Amino acid sequence: MSNQGEEAAVRWGPPYLLYLGSATDDLAIKTARGLAYWRPQWCLGQHRRPDCTVTLGLPDLGLAQARAAGADTMVIGAANAGGVMGPEIVADAVAALDAGMNVAAGLHHKLRDNPDIVAAARRNGRALFDAREPRPNIPVGTGRPRAGRRLLTVGTDCSIGKMYTALAIERALRQRGCAADFRATGQTGILIAGAGIPVDAVVADFISGAAEAISPARPDDGWDLIEGQGSLFHPSYAGVSLGLLHGSRPDALVLCHEPTRRHMRGLPDYPIPDLGDCLEANLAAARLTNPAVRAVGIALNTSNMPADEAAAACRQIGDRFGLPCQDPVSMGVEAIVDNLVACFAS
């Protein structure tokens, strides 16, 4: 993987040191946790400040220690409200560069916009990578049919498991010998996949075009598993969800839901929508560019539920909609993939 900016010849990539900083809750380290879960072979350890109260269960490594162990890149895997790069993160990024590592981040504040970080990268000949930087010249979407098949994960809310579901389906399809590729649309997914477009940083007119760009025509009859973002029912993020639905031109949808969540993330006055209403709204929106789209499964995030309650919820929701319903992490996605393959058998 190459960097962005002037030193384009410099490469960056794994092995990774995952930076948790001063994080105090699991949601704040979801980027680091996603990398540790989906690419454990890339992750040598974690770097935490003394006031950090969360862990990935990886070895705690100092910066020089991590470099000596072979770490190539420190990934800033912790985020705060607004994705701000505070003084502590800046200082630790500079120290990582001085220790000989590259630095990657998915914050809204860019590494390349901080003069101290840029200067450290230059004096050490190291690379910077901002995952939330869209590629240039993204076209306007066309809605035209293109070869290949596409599945998009959608949700009742944001931060509910859409990336995990898409990655789990990719893995299950590949294990069956099917051509399948995860297509990343968020910073964590981009760091996992090594490519993608952060659609929440794309100008609104070009979101559907970005979805077309990350999932171009493919001649092998394989599947692109496109990472969804936001929710059609979230007042803050519905715009990006709609653009993805139109640009992805999905053949199949999987609806993602967390049964224990009571209101939209960050908006206590907005309750979680009814699953039936949410599924039909997503299908209706997707039909603009693909009238043949169909739902193939429901993915539940049951991490806050006892195992028996989780199993009961999957049975109840599956029976209600006549669709396979599973937790991709604790139960896998085999039933969902069975249905996907059956629905689109040649």
Query: 270 with 165, same domain?
Result: yes
299 beta partners: 256, 326
> What pLDDT sits at residue 9?
54
Query: 206 with 313, same domain?
Result: yes
C-alpha dist (Å) from residue 289 to 140, 286, 292, 307:
14, 6, 9, 39
Query: 218 with 319, same domain?
Result: yes
Is residue 138 situated within a structural domain? no
> What pLDDT sits at residue 81?
58
> What pLDDT sits at residue 333?
97
Residue 133 to residue 84: CA distance in whole angstroms: 15
> What pLDDT sits at residue 6?
44
225 beta partners: 151, 182
Query: 74 with 172, same domain?
Result: no
Is 0.75 topped by the overall pTM?
yes
Task: Provide the number of structural domains found in the chain.
Answer: 2
Per the CB < 8 A criterion, the answer to whether 217 and 146 are in contact is yes
Query: 126 with 155, same domain?
Result: no
Is residue 208 situated within a structural domain? yes
Residue 31 to residue 34: CA distance in whole angstroms: 5
Is residue 139 situated within a structural domain? no
**CATH number reported for the structural domain that contains residue 301 in this entry:** 3.40.50.300
Q: Which domain covers residue 232, as residue numbers?
A: 149-343
Residue 279 to residue 296: CA distance in whole angstroms: 11
Query: In the chain, what is the straight-line distance between the N-terminal and C-terminal CA atoms, in Å?
Result: 36
Q: For each of the chain's 346 residues, which pLDDT tens digit applies?
A: 545 544 445 678 899 999 999 998 887 898 999 999 999 999 999 999 999 999 999 999 999 999 999 999 999 998 765 567 889 999 999 999 999 999 999 888 899 999 999 999 999 999 999 988 888 899 999 999 999 999 999 999 998 999 999 999 999 999 999 999 999 999 899 999 988 999 988 999 999 999 999 999 999 989 999 999 999 999 999 999 999 999 999 999 999 999 999 999 889 999 999 999 999 999 999 999 999 999 999 999 999 999 999 999 999 999 999 999 999 999 999 999 999 999 998 6
Cβ atoms < 10 Å from Cβ of 109:
16
Is residue 33 situated within a structural domain? yes
Helix-, strand-, coil-residue percentages of the chain, each rounded to 5: 40, 20, 45
Per the CB < 8 A criterion, the answer to whether 270 and 235 are in contact is yes
**CATH number reported for the structural domain that contains residue 99 in this entry:** 3.40.50.720
Query: 125 with 160, same domain?
Result: no
Kindly give, in sequence order, each residue whose CB lies less than 8 Å from that of residue 244, ignoring residues fewer than 6 positions away: 152, 185, 199, 207, 208, 211, 226, 228, 229
> What pLDDT sits at residue 10?
64
Q: Are strands 267-271 and 263-264 parallel, antiparallel or unpaired?
A: antiparallel
Is residue 140 situated within a structural domain? no
Query: 114 with 191, same domain?
Result: no
Residue 110 to residue 108: CA distance in whole angstroms: 6
Per the CB < 8 A criterion, the answer to whether 30 and 76 are in contact is no
